[in-house]
Chain A
Amino acid sequence: MLAETIKHPVEHLFPYSVPPEEYSPGMVTWYNSVCGMCPAGCGISVRTREGRAKKIEGNPLHPVNQGRLCALGQAGLQSLYNPDRLTAPMQRQGERGSDEFVQTTWEEGLSAVAQRLEMADRHSDSVVLLSQGVRGHFANLLELFMRELGSSRLLHYDFAHPHSLHAANKKLFGEDQLPYYDIANSRYLLSFGADYLNNWLSPVHHSLGFGHSRQGDDSARGRFVQIEPKMSISGAAADEWIPARPGTEGILALGIANRIVEGGYTGGDAEDWSAALTAYSLTRVAEQTGVPAETIARLAEEFTHAEPGLAIGGGAAGNHTNGVDTLVAVNALNYLVGNIGKPGGVVFNPAPMSSRSAIDRPSSRHANHQAMQDLAENARQGGVMVLIVNNANPVFTLPQSTGFKEALDSIPLIVSLSSFMDETTALADVVLPSHTYLESWGDDMPQPGVGFSVGSVSQPVVSPLYNTRATGDIILGLAAKLGFREAIPWASMEDFLKDGWREIYARRSPASDDFDSFWRDVLRSGVLGENVRRESTAAVDKRVIDGIGVAEPEFSGTNDDYPFILHPYMATSMYDGRGANLPWMQELPDPMTSIVYGSWIEMNPVTATEMGVTDGDLIRVTSEQGSIEVPLVTFPAIMPDVVAMPIGQGHDDFGRYARGRGSNPIQILAPTMDPESGSLATSATRVSLVTTGKRAEPAKTGGVARQLGRNIVQFTDGSSEAAGHSTKVNGIPIVVEPA
């Protein structure tokens, strides 16, 4: 599974002339690896035959996903075998953005980049490496490389990185990390906007937890409450969906916290809490959030007496101008019911396995929106000589107001390491395409992890399809060309990885000397877990308590001109847009609306009637930053003055399946940020909606979404031990005697 070849081996029925030892036609070989489709880091087992990857399953041994896998993970095969993969290094020929590239060799490509890097002044920080969020040893390699290059500007950039959650944890608990939320053992989950079943942090693990909490324990069934302005699939799965005014979720949390403190919280710092929360009375909170006072009181009651209760926050609630404070409030709830470090609660993770990598990239490493704006500004002022982009697509995932695309004009050299011609790569000067994750060596220490130390190894499952290289190998190649042999002596990513794991091995078994067996075992299982846990701090600094408070959310645009609040959300199949070039993902119906192959905007049916619009009308959505056109869909579970739109479509490039399809709501988002975390407040944009008079029916797989009394989905009130089960046939109950 090494090195590039000239012929495409997969074109032959039996792709090898000299096959590896373990290969035989008709025989199946499984390889364990790590999924690279989202940051959760689930373990995968890939079924291969005749040197081709056929099916991706979850790795049963991996503690994050335990043999299960989400739809996007399954679609990884279509990333590997995508017809629009970049097949060889390229150099730009025409104008930037003209899509005129000419193929070149690795030697030339690497030399061209190395030359420019050498020219860059060693300590001026004029070289920027903008990468998708990376963990594990590859992150170390990037750090090493940038250090040798003399630049401190290594930026990890993910649209969905939970900056506010990091900041909130740091603020309240002093932990700059993503904790593990033990949903499986929780019996009452209060989610403030976190779409934990869809794409928040680690959705497969959360789904496992959800399933277990629901029906995996005979003694009790978990109750789930979702608080958000538009129902997500987590909201659909919840027992109760509570629409609170957008951006006031934190106020609601503090209202509940106040009730908890009033209702007999016995911690030592009760007085401090009481003082801090006194302003969040039921009536005030009810007024600000729009949630009835009785409901707030009841939620507090239920949460306190749940055994145990867990509160999580994210999504729109975490991405607002008061996002950090909101998530602090949510975490405060956990603290007040004492679930920190306990089963069913918030568990902090131990340090990652490798001693080299930091616990997660420190917040400063992950580029928040402020950092991206600063980068754009700096670029415009000529402060960036070389920009290397690794699998990030800021031209798509940043709002137009950032001006990132225009800022790129001022950067003399842009290098992209992406596997696809996405919008950012289309503006590059040199393209050094990477292998996909299924062709690469790597490792991962998953965040938020599972409460104990986990390391997984990613290995290539097929020979490389094209004349691409593993990203690590590209960096090593550049390092070699730049003469960094001393600091970066490794010849290949595989060697680098193994060296890193040698250290892990040495730490575990200092007396032993059989790294090869250990390595083989790790590769076979795909994952290594260590029963190292972390004592979770259960103390909150008084100053923090005193400072607790959630301000009212701020929105861009006045209410009069822009009567609706735009709620963009990551579509199940698209994540942040990366799923758009995968036909399976385009064809996967949106769970809530069954729409495929396009964008849409959701509106409350009553509002739609008042506005005189109906499903399929093409609507112009305008914010202060710009406007897009998108078809309307009426949606029963959304607040009357909120409109929601999925993120992921609206690509200008990125292959035949993604190009020219739908609209990208990120474009028209206001540059409003949470001042504390610097993250983009994605739900702080107000918009106006005007019908264009044209029609644009979305493509749907579903028909009418009402049961009309046909008892297709049947309900029970949960009282177990029913004497028989009752079948209703057209309204006439027929009781079936147990056999």
Chain B
Amino acid sequence: MPADEQSLQFSDVNDDVVRSLVETGRNYYIALGVAIFVTLACFFFPWFYQLRYGIAAAGNNHPAVWGTYLASFIFWIGLSHSGTLLSCVLHITNSEWRKAMYRSAEAMTLFSLLVAATMVMVHVGRPWFIHWAAPYPNQMELWPNFRSPLLFDVMAITTYLTGSLIFIYMGSIPDFAAVRDRTTGWRHHMYVLLSLGWRGTDTEWHRLGWAYTFLAVLIIPLAVSVHSIVSWDFAMSIVPGLHQTIFAPYFVVGAIYSGTAGIVTVMFVLRKYMGFEHYITKLHFDNLGKLLIVLSLIWTYINVLELFTGWYSGTSTEYEQLKYKLFGFYAPLYWEMILFCSAVPLLMLSRRIRTSFFPMLLISIAVNIGMYTERFLIVATTQVRQYLPDRWGTYVPSLVEISIIVGSLAMFTTLFLLFVKIFPSVSIYEIKETMDAPKKGKSEWQATH
């Protein structure tokens, strides 16, 4: 129980959340404006240039045909993992500390998935035909190729996206209703639609609880399988360095790791700029920190395992892979990744650090930078050192690619900024579950309405 919650009333919760939706300061508009501008300038503009001139705008070549677009795609899918997965797991284990943050975390999932989908469109050579990857009846009488791991991707991510969307929406219905009752004008109409006529009866609560738990249980294996499937895009190839069974757990662990770090970042922002200091507290950061340490250790273990098996195999190709990773052209990136993902998180072993907001922010950002580097390295180091030494090359991302990475981040931020003004970013009813019930008698609001 947060220390300063003794004086917190149920009505305060509603007030705070509604205020976060309704009151918009100048800073918000500036932030939104910048985000939209950067998205347009750094994502869409270079993308249209690439559409016109071909993938030559990126730094790809032969042999490095996959580049940062795919690395970004994996990164964003990874980031999407924590939100919903964590929310579901923690829901089933009845943990209390998830209540304040899970809404935003689920939103993070949703938007990460959307950004990841756009990355696919940027990556593909002829995106105007990307709908061919969907199994729809067509005059060509062609199905897509179901044997392809990329198609498993399409199926899995679509399912995950659908599931997450339903999940977050469903969980927000009571909150929409609460906000509906407190707002006027166009907002009121919007929330009337969104809340689907929720009246808060016992039957409705019961059904919601059941449906919510059902979905939570369903989403857990889904989330695990999604990133495993994404990892199989790589692992099903016979490229040395990619063709490893450890990839599925590696990616899933990495996803949860980077996602959790993402949650920490988002929580910091929400807490500071949306006035949620009472709801997002040191306890949350403490627990997230503990989770991060565990994940960091597992991640480190898997990396060591990869190196060990590469060395142990004694084959020229695997050995070359690990030599190249550790000492080759990208070695500085590799060691940066180790620093940010294995070394820096160890700082969180100290409780003091775990419960300090700003250091946690820095660590979480470092972790995500390291994780992005990891995705990039998987793509970059393996393609340029394959079986035939005559084909070895180098890959350096172009300005267009870097710009699109920045743009995708801006796109995510834009979506999130829009989210905080439409969805209640902290779950009202779940917070209330952690508080004492109000005393009998009318509340201030009830007295005046």
Physical contact A–B (CB less than 8 Å): yes
Interface residues of A (CB under 8 A from B): 594, 702-710, 712, 730-731
Listed A/B pairs (28) with beta-carbon separation below 8 Å: A594-B390, A702-B390, A703-B389, A703-B390, A703-B391, A703-B392, A703-B393, A704-B389, A704-B390, A704-B392, A705-B390, A706-B389, A707-B389, A708-B316, A708-B320, A708-B389, A709-B316, A710-B316, A710-B317, A710-B387, A710-B388, A710-B389, A712-B387, A712-B388, A730-B314, A730-B315, A730-B316, A731-B314
Per-residue A-contact encoding for B378-398, CB less than 8 Å = 1, 0 else: 000000000111111100000
Return chain A residues, CB-CB under 8 Å to B393: 703
Shortest distance between the CB of B320 and any CB in chain A (Å): 7
A706–B320 Cα distance when bound, in Å, is: 13
Once the chains are docked, how many angstroms separate the CA of A710 from the CA of B318? Answer: 11
Cα–Cα distance between A310 and B45 once the two chains are bound (Å): 68
Number of interface residues of B (CB under 8 A): 12
Quick one: which of B293-347 are within 8 Å of A by CB?
A: 314-317, 320
The 10 closest A-B pairs by CB, nearest first: A703-B392, A704-B389, A709-B316, A730-B315, A702-B390, A708-B316, A704-B392, A703-B390, A710-B316, A703-B391
In the complex, chain B residues whose CB is within 8 Å of the CB of A712: 387-388
Q: B314 contacts which chain A residues (CB < 8 A)? A: 730-731
Q: Give the shortest distance, in Å, between A154 (CB) and chain B (any CB).
A: 49
Q: Write the nearest CB–CB distance from A67 to chain B, whole angstroms.
A: 29
Bound form: Cα–Cα A730–B313 in Å: 10
Closest residue to A711 on the B side, CB-wise? B316
CB distance from B344 to the nearest CB of A (A): 35
For chain B, residues 357 to 409, give those with C-beta under 8 angstroms from any C-beta of chain A: 387-393
User: How distant is the Cα of A731 from the Cα of B387 in the complex, in angstroms?
Assistant: 15
Instruction: Closest B residue to A712 by CB, please name it.
Output: B388
| Majority DSSP secondary structure for residues of A touching B | loop
Task: Point out the residues of chain A lying under 8 angstroms from B387, CB to CB.
Answer: 710, 712
CA of A710 to CA of B316, assembled, Å: 7
Chain A CB count within 10 A is highest, among B317, B390, B393, for B390
Q: Which residue of A lies closest to B384 (CB)?
A: A703
Q: A703-B392, A708-B316 are in contact. List 4 more A-B contacts (CB 8 A).
A: A704-B389, A710-B316, A710-B387, A712-B388
Distance in angstroms from B362 CB to nearest chain A CB is 39
Residues of chain A within 8 A of B315, CB atoms compared: 730
Q: Which residue of A lies closest to B387 (CB)?
A: A710
- Chain A neighbourhood of B316, CB < 8 A: 708-710, 730
Within 8 A of A (CB), among B160-175: none
Q: A709 CA to B389 CA in the complex, in Å?
A: 10
Nearest B residue to A702 via CB reads: B390
Q: Mark B85-107, 1 if CB is under 8 A from A, else 0.
A: 00000000000000000000000
Q: Which residue of chain B lies nearest to A729 when distances are taken between CB atoms in the complex?
A: B315
- Please name the residue on chain A nearest to B388 by beta carbon: A712
CB of B63, distance to nearest CB on chain A (Å): 8
Task: Write the chain B residue with the least CB distance to A730.
Answer: B315
- Interchain CB contact (< 8 A) of B389 among A594, A705, A730: A705
**In the assembled complex, how far is the CB of residue B260 from the closest CB belonging to chain A, in whole angstroms?**
40
B-chain residues with CB within 8 Å of residue A731 when the two chains form the complex: 314
CB neighbours of A705 from chain B (8 A):
389-390
* CB within 8 Å of A: which B382-439 residues: 387-393
Question: A705 CA to B388 CA in the complex, in Å?
Answer: 9
CB-CB under 8 A from A730, the residues of chain B are: 314-316
Chain A residues with CB under 8 A of B317: 710
Complex Cα–Cα for A647 and B316 (A): 38
Complex interface: chain A residues within 8 A of B392 (CB): 703-704
B36 to chain A, nearest CB (A): 42
Which B residues are in CB contact (< 8 Å) with A703?
A: 389-393
Chain A nearest CB from B309 CB (Å) reads: 15
Instruction: For the complex, give the distance between the alpha carbons of A707 and B390 in Å.
Output: 8
- In the complex formed, the residue of A with least CB distance to B315 is A730
In the assembly, what is the distance between CA of A737 and CA of B51, in Å?
53
A594 to chain B, nearest CB (A): 8
CB nearest neighbor in B for A594: B390
Q: Residue on A with the closest CB to B392?
A: A703
A702 to B391, CA, bound (A): 6
Residues of B within 8 A of A708 (CB): 316, 320, 389
Smallest beta-carbon distance B243→chain A, Å: 15
A705–B392 CA distance with the chains assembled, in angstroms? 9
Give min CB distance, B310 to chain A, whole Å: 13
> Which of A594, A704, A705, A706 has most chain B Cβ within 10 Å?
A704
**Which among B316, B317, B392 has the highest number of chain A CB atoms within 10 Å?**
B316
Given the complex of chains A and B, what is the CA–CA distance between A703 and B317 in angstroms?
A: 15
Whose C-beta in chain A lies nearest to the C-beta of B63? A703
Q: Mark B232-246, 1 if CB is under 8 A from A, else 0.
A: 000000000000000
Q: Which residue of A lies closest to B320 (CB)?
A: A708
Q: How far is the CB of B329 from chain A (nearest CB, A)?
A: 12
B residues less than 8 Å from A710 (CB atoms):
316-317, 387-389
Rounded to whole Å, the gap between the CB of B164 and the closest CB of chain A is 43
Expressed in whole angstroms, the Cα–Cα distance for A185 and B317 within the complex equals: 43
Residues in B neighbouring A594, C-beta threshold 8 A: 390
**Alpha-carbon distance A702/B315, docked complex (angstroms):** 23
**Minimum distance in angstroms from A619 CB to a CB of chain B:** 24
Q: Which A residues are CB-close (under 8 A) to B320? A: 708
> How far is it, in angstroms, between the C-alpha of A703 and the C-alpha of B62 when the chains are bound?
11
Report the minimal beta-carbon distance from B60 to chain A, rounded to whole angstroms: 16
Distance in Å: Cβ of B107 to nearest Cβ of chain A: 45
Alpha-carbon distance between A115 and B317 when the two chains are bound, in angstroms: 73
Looking at A703, A707, A710, A712, the one whose CB has the most chain B CB atoms below 10 A away is A703
User: Closest approach, in angstroms, between the C-beta of B274 and any C-beta of chain A?
Assistant: 53
CA distance A702 to B62 in the complex (A): 11
Query: How far is A463 from B257 in the complex, measured between Cα atoms in Å?
Result: 70
Chain B, Cβ-Cβ closest to A704: B389
Q: Nearest-CB distance from A556 to chain B (Å)?
A: 38
CA–CA, A146 to B317, complex, Å?
67
- A705 (CB) vs chain B CBs: closest residue: B390
Task: Please give, as numbers and ranges, the residues of chain B lying within 8 Å of A702 by CB-CB distance.
Answer: 390
With both chains docked as a complex, state the minimum distance between the C-beta of B240 and any C-beta of chain A, in angstroms.
10
Within the complex, the shortest CB–CB distance from B58 to chain A, in Å, comes to 20
Complex alpha-carbon distance, A730 and B320, angstroms:
13
